[in-house]
Amino acid sequence: MIVEVKTPNKNYEILIDKLPEIKIDSKVAIITNPTVSGLHINKLLSKLQAKEIHIVTLPDGEEYKNFDSIHFGLDRLFDAKFDRNSVLIAFGGGVIGDMTGFMASIFLRGIKFIQIPTTLLSMVDSSVGGKTGINNKYGKNLIGAFYQPEVVYINPDFLKTLPKREVSAGMAEVIKMSVMFDKVFFENIKDNKCTIEQIIRRSVELKSEVVTQDEKEKGIRSILNYGHTFGHVIENLTNYSVYLHGEAVAIGMVMANRLAVKLGYLTEIEEKEIIKCLKENDLPTTFQIKDVNDFYEHFFADKKTLNNSIKFIIPNGIGNYKIVKDVDKEIILEVLGEFKI
């Protein structure tokens, strides 16, 4: 199956199928991590032809999504005398995809890169749309660029070796998109009526539709941050070492839903349906906040906060969305207070 993404800067295809033969008439660097390399590198190498192939292995985990890893990767490219015709291949999950895209965007002011995601989360979300970047002490993905890949190859076979926890983390992003945009899709997920291929396809279709309309998150693309405003704070407070990204997003969705209920956009029945769906996909739905005021202050480090105004993405029923700004601080603190230790 082919899904097209069209943006002002680039049009490209997402191919959902077996990994095809890939021929590149230049130097190529496969950017990966030890886990993915150990499981799948031979599969990729058997499909790849290039003038030279280099493998750059970065540490595995969100806590390594930083400038140290970027510098290491860039140094390997300079050591191998890469040039502006060279190509990077992101071969891994969302962390590898984000870092590879960022490296591609800044190496010699921009070279081509290809996404080959190996986790469910990266297949349904992060590999599509050109968001690249790294974390720092102030928050998540605060340094980066919008930089589109040449093509995205999604091979569901890679999921066969994925730990169950990683599959669940990917489902958080799937549920997020269904709650925001497609009630029928949500119902099918809830009732376990979708195959993994159908889940990937519908998620990619929804993401590509959004990116096509709004490449650089000036409007509708911000809706994809449902669950992320709260979730990014959770990741930052736990030093990116307790929760997988999808797990933090799941908890963030629960918090956003509580806000939506208090503001009258979501019923308690709908709230419970979403929580049930998250739990059935083995996702966490609770978090113990130590200091609600400290949690609140972390919102202002989020890149979506403008002019000291926090923007929240919340459900307007299931299958629709609402952007709310300038929510009374006391209401937000009240929501956070329900998660206090």
For 2-33, the pLDDT digits (tens) are: 999 998 889 999 999 999 999 999 999 999 99
Q: Which of 190, 221, 236, 258 is catalytic?
A: 221
pLDDT at 260 exceeding the cut of 90: yes
232 catalytic? Reply is: yes
> Above 90 in pLDDT, residue 145?
yes
Is the predicted pLDDT of residue 306 greater than 70, yes or no?
Answer: no
pLDDT band at 300 (very low <50, low <70, confident <90, very high): confident
Query: With bands split at pLDDT 50, 70 and 90, how would you rate the model's confidence at 111?
Result: very high
Q: State residue 341's pLDDT score.
A: 79
How do residues 191-210 score in pLDDT, each as one tens digit? 999 999 999 999 999 999 99
* Contact status, residue 196 vs residue 203, Cβ threshold 8 Å: no
pLDDT at position 302, please? 67
Q: Does 225 qualify as catalytic in the annotation?
A: yes
Confidence category of residue 228, pLDDT binned at 50, 70, 90: very high
Q: Is the pLDDT of residue 131 over 70?
A: yes
Largest CA distance in the chain: 61
Mean pLDDT value of segment 37-62: 96
How far, in Å, CA of 181 to CA of 168, rounded? 20
What local confidence, expressed as pLDDT, does residue 262 receive? 97
Q: Which of 155, 225, 236, 257 is catalytic?
A: 225
Query: How much is the pLDDT for 305?
Result: 63
- The answer to whether 58 touches 93, Cβ cutoff 8 Å, is no
Query: Which of 201, 232, 235, 236 is the catalytic position?
Result: 232
Catalytic residue among 23, 81, 109, 160: 109
- How many other C-beta atoms can be found within 10 angstroms of the C-beta atom of residue 54? 17
Is 207 known to be catalytic?
Answer: yes
Buried b (16+ CB within 10 A) or exposed e, 67-93: eebbeebbebbeeeebeeebbbbbbbb
Catalytic residue flag (residue 173)? yes
Known active-site residue 298: no
Q: Catalytic pick from 245, 247, 270, 281?
A: 245
Cα–Cα dist 16/1, whole Å: 5
Contact (Cβ atoms closer than 8 angstroms) between residue 153 and residue 21: no
Is residue 307's pLDDT more than 70? no
- Of the pLDDT bands very low, low, confident and very high (cuts 50, 70, 90), residue 214 is confident
Summarised one tens digit per residue, pLDDT across range 328-341 is: 999 999 999 999 87
CA 169 distance to own-chain centroid: 10
Res. 304 pLDDT band, cuts 50 70 90: low
Across the range 108-124, mean pLDDT stands at 97
- Tell me the pTM: 0.89
